[in-house]
């Protein structure tokens, strides 16, 4: 992950390998995504595992 600044100087995070961006500080190893219905889910790219519940 890389921390970036938007044009309006707001901090966001870029996952370099996938190009995914998010406003929240990333969970260690997990990527927060949104499905076609707008529901959040979580993906661990190291294990190629997805889940609906936020990781702990």
C-alpha to C-alpha distances, 20 to 2, 16, 32, nearest whole angstrom: 11, 7, 9
The answer to whether residues 30 and 18 touch, using CB atoms and an 8 Å cutoff, is no
pLDDT of residue 53: 95
pLDDT of residue 40: 93
C-alpha to C-alpha distances, 44 to 1, 10, 11, 15, 41, nearest whole angstrom: 13, 26, 22, 12, 10
Per domain, the residue ranges of the chain are: 2-51
Q: At 20, is the secondary structure helix, strand, or coil?
A: strand
Q: What is the pLDDT along the chain (56 residues), one digit of tens a residue?
A: 788 999 999 999 998 888 889 998 777 778 888 999 999 999 888 788 999 999 87
pLDDT of residue 31: 85
pTM value is 0.54
């Amino acid at each position: 992950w890389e921390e970036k600044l938007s044009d309006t100087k707001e901090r966001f995070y870029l996952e370099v390998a996938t190009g995914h961006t998010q406003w929240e500080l990333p969970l260690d190893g997990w990527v927060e995504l949104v499905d076609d219905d707008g529901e959040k889910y979580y993906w661990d790219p190291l294990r190629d595992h997805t889940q609906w519940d936020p990781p702990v």
